[in-house]
Structure 1
């Protein structure tokens, strides 16, 4: 007969092995930060289109790196909408197009790489 402790251990091991436990912990941390965040909104920059654009670029970069837990916390803390802005919209906003070499990279990475290359010239 399985004990409650055994069931708990099996459940924990299963959630750890499929990566769900880390996701649950990250979501819980993000929600705790959201609840505990008592900073007045006037201490944060106004959510202008430029701030939103930069935040979306950071979100895309964190997702590309696989920093899902950091990204969940960032989304909650920054007040970004749950659904990310489409890449095509971001590209239009910053005035860039994809090439074969950049289509698989986040836009922020591509921007920094392009800037660094231009500075070498």
Structure 2
């Protein structure tokens, strides 16, 4: 007769081999965040920049069937329940799309654009965020990181 520990190990191994254990853990996390969201005070409003970035990430997660990761991000970030329209995102990012690019998340198109850029040796100049800079303290990294 198998012991309780052997049974637990066998079930865990079976769930891992079927790829279910990770999904279960992610689902539990998502439900915990959702439950906490019901009882906490509303967070600060999302900036326009964060709203766009979160939606790009959510589109990528959902395309790749990372539904639980997407639900955790939605719950933690306070992203609106109704997703932003893809055409709105493309307009905000000043992106033009063809029919084939519309079949994949915008992040894929953005990465592809930079990988296939004709400027093979140059660097892209990035401007700072429109968000105000914040300073935080981290004992392992120093007073500001």
TM-score, normalized by length of structure 2? 0.55
After TM superposition, list the pairs within 5 Å mapping 1:78-93 onto structure 2: 78-93=77-92
Deviation at 1:92, TM superposition (A): 0.7
Aligned residues, how many?
A: 95
After superposition, give the CA deviation of every residue in 1:74-103 in whole Å (9 maximum; x if it has no partner). Answer: 100111011110101101110112113311
Greater gyration radius: 2
Name stretches of at least 5 consecutive residues in structure 1 with no aligned partner: 1-18
Distance in 2 between residues matched to 1:111 and 1:75, nearest whole Å: 22
Aligned position for 2:120: 120
Higher helix share: 1
Aligned position for 2:70: 71
After superposition, give the CA deviation of every residue in 1:25-76 in whole Å (9 maximum; x if it has no partner). Answer: 72x53231241898xx57xxx7211111111100111111111111011100
RMSD: 2.8
Distance in 2 between residues matched to 1:47 and 1:74, nearest whole Å: 13
Higher relative contact order (CA 8 A, sep 6+): 1
Distance in 1 between residues matched to 2:65 and 2:120, nearest whole Å: 30
Distance in 2 between residues matched to 1:70 and 1:48, nearest whole Å: 21
After TM superposition, list the pairs within 5 Å mapping 1:102-113 onto structure 2: 102-113=101-112
Give every structure 1 segment of 4 or more consecutive aligned residues whose post-TM-superposition deviation is greater than 2 Å.
Answer: none
Aligned position for 1:31: 31
- 2:93 maps to 1:94: yes
